[in-house]
Chains A and B, each alone.
Chain A
Amino acid sequence: MALTDSMVRHQGEQFVASAESLLAPLNTALDGLAELAGSVYDEGVDVRVSDFNDVNELVQIRLVELGGLVSGFGFMIAPGSVAEVDLLHIWWHFLDGKPYQQRLNLDPTSPAFYDYSEKEFYVLPEQTKARYAAGPYIDYLGTNKHIVTYCIPVMCHERFVGVAGADIDVQSLQGELIDLLPDDMPLTALVINQRGRVILSNDANWATGSLYRDAEMLGGLRQVGPGASFTSSSDVGWNFRGINWAFVLLGGAQ
């Protein structure tokens, strides 16, 4: 590989490792929430809304602990997995240091209907049974903010019963990640998600939320799996291990 030298490669790997440890407390909180929410379904068939009181409590506690980087936290049921309702969204958002219950319009006849079960942050964990971060995107009719929504599947035994997730404030995320990036990185560095959505860059030409469209690189990264790297005809990229993000150095292959 005529790659940049091994120093740049080392810098890149270090960055990925520290970015992953930044997300560690959030991963722990999501795992805990997923375990509690999954256990609600342990007892048997007739799960009711009132069975989620403990989940509701835990969501608020964790949100206050994580608040800042995390602007919303909660659990969304798989449609039809609870007796009285089709959709249920136990979700709190963090405003001025306090948790507030997030209300979504779950009425399918309303023009403001927010069908979370069709959104990328729900569909991908359901399909892949793996954690998934959607965006940055503007969450119209939800928070109306520029966020990343990071979800993990909630399973009860082999059955998918919903997702536990967090809204990550893009401004805070960008601020924390950019500090981890070495100042002397000689190439344009991007943190992107699986679809090429740019989360962070050290280059002002790459806005947060813009799209890296190199099909060769995006396809290659999907093939090689977590933690592995891929070199396209021009760029080089590494997949994160715990989250569907990759670190890409433009021109790193030349």
Chain B
Amino acid sequence: MTARSNGSNGSPLVARNIALVPLDSEGRADIAANRIREAIRLGILSEGDQLPSEAELSAELSVATKTLREALSMLRDEGIIETRRGRNGGSFVTSHARRSSKNEVLSKLAAMSVVELFDLESEYRAISGVTAELAAQRADEEDLARMQHHIERLTKSERLDDLLIEDSRFHIEVSVCSQSERLLRREIQLQGEALELLWAFDAEGFQQRSIDEHQAILDAITRQDVVVARTLAEDHIHGAFVALIQQRIGARKRVTGP
């Protein structure tokens, strides 16, 4: 009985190439640090605020104290938080925790490949579409009023910081209406990756477009038009990414062109 091992008979002796799906590149400490960064971006924590105790934070983020300390140390190295000793000691949000500068955003964009951006768009589009669909099924009148409120605030906003916050809040309220904790969490993470990039170029044009598109999405949600709400939410993300990816392609051309 020889030479039978090289076939598709399922022999356990045959080594196969198994395509394993890689883990997300982030470790647990990175994820914990990102959650805290998000809280700062969303205004939940602002300059001078004290972070909760280590015990509370690790319980809230569901990580071991050791992992949390790693995360805090990363944030300290970035200058986002500082730790003071003594009786009133603890970790505090610093003034450096603000939004990135235009140059920082541009280098963040330059560090991402076009393929990565397309992939980010795919995920964001999927999340946005299903979120809007569920919101159209589940939003009540109070929910509609909250979403409308953030469209009006987006209309009135002038500073880039406020524009980003109101854009973010509209989409967060849609996620809240979906009644899904997971979708809300994903929306917040995706905003953390994408929002600054999307607003980095033509802020004024992007403001007008966002107002109109948010209103159209909300109108569809109000009519409980599940299909249109989903399509418009997907198109909203797609359109924003096409503009961004065009910028990214253009930047490469400028770097390598004549």
Contacts and interface: CB of A to CB of B under 8 A. Distances in A.
Co-complex (A, B): yes
Interface of A: 95-96, 98, 100, 103, 105, 110-112, 120, 136-138, 140-141, 144-146, 195-197, 207-211
B179 A138 contact: yes
Contact of B184 (A98, A105, A140, A208): A140
Interface string B24-43: 00000000000000000011
Nearest to A140: B176
Interface in B158-193: 165, 169, 172-173, 175-176, 179-181, 184
Nearest to A123: B142
B179 A100 contact: no
Contacts of A141: 44
A138 B44 contact: no
Contacts of A211: 137-140
A77 B180 CA distance: 30
A120 B44 CA distance: 21
B169 A111 contact: yes
B60 interface: yes
A112 B43 contact: yes
A197 B140 contact: yes
Given A140-B176, A140-B184, A209 B56 contact: no
Nearest to A95: B59
A146 B56 contact: no
A13 B181 CA distance: 32
B43 A100 contact: no
Contacts of A197: 140
B46 to A, nearest CB: 6
- Minimum-distance CB pairs A-B, first 4: A209-B179, A111-B43, A95-B59, A112-B43
19 contacts: A100-B56, A103-B52, A111-B42, A111-B43, A111-B169, A138-B175, A138-B179, A138-B180, A138-B181, A138-B184, A140-B173, A141-B44, A144-B184, A207-B179, A208-B179, A209-B138, A209-B179, A210-B137, A211-B137
Nearest to B172: A140
Contacts of A195: 140
Contacts of B56: 95, 100
A36 to B, nearest CB: 26
Interface in B57-99: 59-60
Given A95-B56, A105-B44, A209-B138, A138 B169 contact: no
Contacts of A138: 175-176, 179-181, 184
Nearest to B43: A111
Nearest to B224: A213
Nearest to B146: A140
Give the interface centre of A105, A120, A136, A140 by most chain B CB atoms within 10 Å: A140
A137 B176 CA distance: 8
Contacts of B172: 140
B46 A110 contact: yes
Contacts of A96: 59
Interface in B196-234: none
B184 A112 contact: no
Nearest to B173: A140
Contacts of B52: 100, 103
Given A95-B59, A100-B52, A211-B137, A112 B42 contact: yes
A167 B168 CA distance: 26
Contacts of A120: 142
Contacts of A144: 181, 184
Given A100-B52, A197-B140, A211-B138, A95 B60 contact: yes
